[in-house]
Amino acid sequence: MDILFDLIIIGSGPAGMSAAVYASRAELKTLIVESSAPGGKMVKTHLVENYPGEKSITGVDLSMKMHEHSLSFGATYAYGNVIDVKQIVGGFEVVTEHGETFTSKVVIAATGTVERKIGLDQEEELVGKGVSYCAVCDGAFYKEREVVVVGGGNSALDESLYLTQFASKVTIVIRRDVFRGEIGTQEKVYNNPKIEIVKKHVPVEIMTENGVFSGLKVEHVDTKEQKIIPGSCLFPYIGSDPATAYLKNLGVLDDQGYSIANDRMETSVQGLYTVGDMNQKTLRQIVTATADGAIAAQEAIAYLNK
């Protein structure tokens, strides 16, 4: 089989786009394959305030800046949902769900993570009918209405603050009695008059009216007392899982599905690098993802030069 590209990058989040800049600038024939909008989770983030050089920028704007940069040295961009990566003589074959195949000498996987579901009945059926995993995408639909956010990490807090621009009230439900998010963000949440915090409660049932979300029944973790929080939309932000199913046959994943790579982003498969949030790591941030992408691209360049 003919090898069409030097490098295929799967995923166009900050890690993948950083890799594309370094690789294409070094004149590698580079293809980026992405199944959604460029930016990954970054494009769903309202404000980014911890990326060096940008004091405050919307996730959409930062995503578009990176996207333009990632293609500026000649990389090619293709839309597709990758379902398999196969080793072939001289490299890899990358297969999409619609049957397209691309071949390359090296692959950098950069598909990040996907939002975790709460796991309640009707949750998936109500997506678009009062259940959303993207406040930036859907928040404006709930102007002057009450919404419910589940989660206590940075994403839940950031998106709750964003939702206060539209909603008349934002109720945050957390399992513990403390947040896990950054202290500065916590202070903004506590000081926002539109936000109510329901601590030590867990979701137990989604309530509906006329086929759309109407409220969330929650239960106190100690007393088991239940109550219903009314709202027009539910925004779950309870963590994420690695988007790595397409690598399962290559033996590079741990028991949780995260990719196992060394500090050079090398996996146990020669020529396959994995980067960003899909990797085993302690900090998942835009800045760490871009660093991973740069390292992987430089290692790929060195590998090909050998």
Instruction: Give the long-range contacts of residues 286-291, CB within 8 A, separation 24 or more.
Output: 286/14, 286/42, 286/48, 286/50, 286/51, 286/62, 287/50, 287/51, 287/52, 289/13, 289/14, 289/15, 289/18, 289/110, 289/112, 290/14, 290/15, 290/17, 290/18, 291/18
**Domain 5-115+240-305 has what CATH class?**
alpha beta
- Rounded to an integer, what distance in angstroms lies between the CA atom of residue 234 and that of residue 214? 9
Whether the CB-CB separation of 15 and 24 falls below 8 Å is answered with no
Q: Catalytic annotation on 233?
A: no
Whether the CB-CB separation of 162 and 46 falls below 8 Å is answered with yes
Domain ranges of the chain: 5-115+240-305, 135-236
Average pLDDT, the chain: 95
The identity of residue 193, as a single letter, is: P
Q: Which residues contact 34 (CB under 8 A, 6 or more apart)?
A: 11, 12, 16, 77, 78, 79, 80
Task: Report pLDDT digits (tens) over 16-47.
Answer: 999 999 999 999 999 999 999 999 989 888 88
Task: Report pLDDT digits (tens) over 114-144.
Answer: 989 999 999 999 998 999 998 988 899 999 9
Catalytic residue among 2, 61, 84, 134: 134
Task: Report pLDDT digits (tens) over 233-276.
Answer: 999 999 889 999 999 999 999 999 999 999 999 999 999 999 99
> In this prediction, what percent of the chain has a pLDDT beyond 70?
100
Does 1 have pLDDT greater than 80?
no
Catalytic residue among 138, 158, 277, 292: 138
Domains 5-115+240-305 and 135-236 share a fold: yes
Domain 135-236 has CATH 3.50.50.60: yes
pLDDT at 239: 87
Task: Report pLDDT digits (tens) over 102-118.
Answer: 999 999 999 999 989 99
pLDDT at 49: 87
The identity of residue 89, as a single letter, is: V
pLDDT at 143: 96
- Rounded to an integer, what distance in angstroms lies between the CA atom of residue 139 and that of residue 207? 20
Q: What count of residues does the chain have?
A: 306
> In this prediction, what percent of the chain has a pLDDT beyond 90?
91
Whether the CB-CB separation of 22 and 297 falls below 8 Å is answered with yes
